[in-house]
């Protein structure tokens, strides 16, 4: 099969799977719902800041999209469909890259739409177009990371648990621990992503040695390392 055919096959799988639909709906409900809640409780003059309106997308929407991306891999392992996929396309690297590309494009576009919807719902300042692009980039990189995690773990429950606990529990806890937070904080992958976004979450303000742009490059590097490890593992072990 050609590269285009493999990409199209992965697009069809992602768009026709029921779990993908419900996961995407959950991401939108969490993201836009939080924006509406913030708008209803906001006070003070002027519109709500774009970063606050988009916090739901960055904090909850993107992790849910990561689950969607990981499930595109783990569901095939669970059902045994992955053997059929690898029989039709013996190049396992191409299969995993196609899954990552499709998941990244969908996640980036969907995250951008959710940010714009959150800004509209929250009646926030609509001029912050950088935020839309920044969260889209973050979502794309996070999708690649999630596909790698799914390929490494192969079990849906394990992948989902890791992808939720990592950004929502583990990193905020490590980043706020006395005595060590200032040392390890600048090297937390999702902490760097939030530094790039400018969205406030549970992370303290760290002295990042590489600035905002360097922070997203660092997150991209971590995503690439995980994905390359997944490529090596998938090519070495049995389906």
Encode the chain (239 residues) as per-residue pLDDT tens digits: 788 999 999 999 998 888 899 999 999 999 999 888 887 776 555 567 777 888 899 999 999 999 999 999 999 999 999 999 999 999 999 999 999 999 999 999 999 999 999 988 887 776 677 889 999 999 999 999 999 999 999 999 999 999 999 999 999 998 888 888 788 888 999 999 999 998 887 777 777 788 889 999 999 999 999 999 999 999 998 76
- Model's pTM, two decimal places? 0.93
Q: What is the pLDDT of residue 53?
A: 82
Q: What is the pLDDT of residue 43?
A: 58
Torsion of CA 225, 91, 110, 63, to 10 degrees: -40
Per-residue model confidence (pLDDT) at position 126: 65
Q: How far is CA 15 from CA 18, 24, 71, 84, 103, in A?
A: 8, 10, 12, 19, 10
pLDDT score recorded for residue 177: 86
Q: What local confidence, expressed as pLDDT, does residue 86 receive? A: 92
Element (H, E) at 151: helix 129-153
- Rounded CA separation 72/99 (Å): 7
**Percent of the chain with pLDDT strictly greater than 70:** 96
In this predicted structure, what is the pLDDT of residue 226? 98
Domain boundaries, the chain: 3-236
The number of residues making up the chain comes to 239
Q: What confidence score (pLDDT) does residue 122 get? A: 82
């Amino acid at each position: 099969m050609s590269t285009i055919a493999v990409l199209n096959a992965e697009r069809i799988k992602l768009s026709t799977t029921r779990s993908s639909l419900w996961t995407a709906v959950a991401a939108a409900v969490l993201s836009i719902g939080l924006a509406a809640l913030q708008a209803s409780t906001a006070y003070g003059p002027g519109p709500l800041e774009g970063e606050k309106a988009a916090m739901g997308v960055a904090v909850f929407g993107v992790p849910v999209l990561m689950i969607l991306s990981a499930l595109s891999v783990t569901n095939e392992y669970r059902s045994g469909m992955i053997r059929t996929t690898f029989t039709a396309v013996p190049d396992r690297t191409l299969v995993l890259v196609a899954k990552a590309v499709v998941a990244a494009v969908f996640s980036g576009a969907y995250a951008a739409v959710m940010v714009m919807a959150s800004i509209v719902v929250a009646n926030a300042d609509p001029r912050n177009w950088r935020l839309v692009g920044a969260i889209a980039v973050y979502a794309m990189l996070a999708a690649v990371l999630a596909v790698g995690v799914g390929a490494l773990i192969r079990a849906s429950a394990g992948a989902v648990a890791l992808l939720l606990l990592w950004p929502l529990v583990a990193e905020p806890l490590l980043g706020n621990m006395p005595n060590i937070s200032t040392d390890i904080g600048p090297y937390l992958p999702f902490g760097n992503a939030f530094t790039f976004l400018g969205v406030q979450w549970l992370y303290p303000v760290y002295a990042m040695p590489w600035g905002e742009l360097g922070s997203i490059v660092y997150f991209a590097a971590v995503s690439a390392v995980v994905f390359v490890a997944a490529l090596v593992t998938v090519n070495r072990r049995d389906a």
